[in-house]
Chains A and B, each alone.
Chain A
Amino acid sequence: MRIRAIALRILRQFIHDKRTMALMFIAPLLVLSLMNLVFNGDKYTPKLGLEKSMVLYADRLASLDVDITTYSDAAEGDAALRSGEIDAFIKLEAAGPKVILEGSNPAANQAVLVVLQDLFSQPEPAEAAGGLQDAPVRPEISYLYGAEEMKTIDRYGPIMIGVFVFFFVFLIAGVSLLRERTSGTLERLLSTPLQRREIVLGYVLGFGLFTVLQALLISWFSIKVLGIMMAGSFMYVLLITLLMALTALTLGTLLSAFAANELQMIQFIPLVIVPQIFLSGLFPLDTLPLWLQRLGLLTPIYYGSEALMDIMIRGKGWSAISLNVMILLGFSLLFMALNVLALRKHRRM
């Protein structure tokens, strides 16, 4: 009842504050559209897997800009491909060499195709390719996920959906609670029989209802209007965006306890949001030092982005994202508990 009262109040504040509402709904669409126009491919060193029988190509590949791993049989290579350890796997089949691309990253796809062109346009090593020695070999190429015509925005889209929801909810929820503190309304709330956890839950419910709409709009716009690739279930996309919003909300309100004014809340963006974006998989992480890659595992956006890519590009279902869902839920619950604790600073009971 009291939780509902807080939720209703937050919704009413939104309705009266058209500008903030526009920021939450329109700004993400604008930036996504821009990104859609701007993104092009970029240089990338592809990781190739070779079946043992194709090891003859290793010498020739060594002269190209590529990382090579050799696998003892086709099954092992296929597994590595599925788990994303390699971008493409070359194996030998009855009809000749066969290349399978992982396919979810357009930059990687492009790089692999360039390497393949170099590789197979040269004359064959004598023993290779099942004795077809004279004619240049044309390998059969197929994609595990994604597709040949996948665009860069298809890769970045899922990440950006998550990032936008996270960013705006973090900022607006944080500022909301901060204002509540600086304007004295928080103290006023704490002079009523309201429990501290009811305040936190009220915020979760009020912003929750609001972010359902936001998540719906952003996901719908990205997929239907911008035509970003969508191989999986819309409901899962919604679930993950909502969980990211919940994490952002609870983290934002928590950190607002350490900000004295709105500007100080903004100062959290380069500290808390930007590093998360860099470690989210937007840029290839393999080139980063290991400790930095590990640090990514501590950030909510990483898990959200990973799940969204799995759903939207790789069309995966519950089994692929369940761990991410649990981790995001865990983050939210942890932050909620910490919020209740942080409010102790204002009232002990």
Chain B
Amino acid sequence: MNVVHPVLSVRHVGKAFGKKEVLRDISLQVEGAETFGILGPSGSGKTTLVKLLAGIDEATTGEVRVLGTTMPKLSVLQKIGYMAQSDALYSELTAKENLEFFAALYGLKDGNRTRRIGDVMELVDLQEHLNKRVDQYSGGMKRRLSLAIALLHEPPLLLLDEPTVGIDPLLRQAIWTELKGLNRKGTTIVLTTHVMDEAGKCDRLAMIREGRLLAVDTPAGVLKAAGAASLEEAFLYYGGARP
């Protein structure tokens, strides 16, 4: 892949809902084929930031560029696989019908569609539940189905908002292995989390708190700068709980 400019670049981005400022002066860049984690406590603005990256929302100030294009831009959406924080599934439909629907929206055709549906369902280990209605799925299964839908059209950029919430450790490990595999094939992954052990698996981390960017570094770099033994400690350090 000849990635000259960063896959994702955020420049002095601010986002306000009415008078409420949710993001303030965020600047960061994500390179091609890396796994980039956005780490922050609940309510810190992670989801808001991801929606700006996904082009669903628009920044109040500053600029978001995805794959070299200023967002929001419709044509870029085809290249993004987005997994929302809440499972956006049609619960009265079967998993297969959900997948077919989204596959059609991304323009996947007949044979390719069937093949991709099989692939992604295998990846999230749901192939036996393909014809089950989604309202009979457990929370973790729904999460996995949402992930499968995000992977469906083989996008070069994945935006995953808390992808592994409610998924048991064994399966979480398997999913991380797959994500890393996608990384190697050139897929760029941006994900949010507030699970510290997951943050350690990212190539680089952005720490945010109350809508401000505290630091962007590798997990090791974060530890070192904070003089902390664990990411948890480092997080508290950056969050203002400095000794």
Interfacial residues, chain A to chain B (CB-CB below 8 A): 1-2, 4-6, 8-9, 12-13, 16-17, 183-185, 187-195, 346-349
Contact = CB atoms under 8 A, between A and B. Distances in A.
B77 A192 contact: yes
Interface string B165-186: 0000000000000000000000
B77 A191 contact: yes
Nearest to A188: B88
B93 to A, nearest CB: 6
B207 to A, nearest CB: 25
A188 B84 contact: yes
A13 B104 contact: no
A349 B93 contact: no
A126 to B, nearest CB: 79
A243 B39 CA distance: 52
B36 interface: no
A192 B93 contact: no
A8 B107 CA distance: 15
Contacts of B73: 349
Interface of B: 54-56, 58, 72-75, 77-78, 80, 82, 84, 86-93, 97, 101-102, 104-107, 133
A347 B57 CA distance: 6
A13 B92 contact: yes
Contacts of A12: 93, 97
Contacts of A183: 86, 88, 91
A2 B74 CA distance: 14
A346 B56 CA distance: 7
A184 B82 CA distance: 13
Given A1-B107, A16-B93, A187 B84 contact: yes
A12 B133 CA distance: 12
Contacts of B133: 16
A189 B105 contact: yes
A1 B88 contact: no
Given A17-B92, A347-B56, 11 more contacts: A4-B104, A12-B97, A13-B92, A13-B93, A16-B133, A183-B86, A191-B80, A192-B105, A193-B106, A347-B72, A348-B72
A8 B56 contact: no
19 contacts: A1-B104, A1-B107, A5-B104, A8-B101, A8-B104, A9-B93, A12-B97, A13-B90, A13-B93, A16-B93, A183-B86, A183-B88, A183-B91, A185-B89, A188-B88, A190-B56, A192-B77, A193-B75, A347-B72
B82 A191 contact: yes
A185 B104 contact: no
Contacts of A16: 92-93, 133
Given A12-B97, A17-B92, A191-B54, A349 B84 contact: no
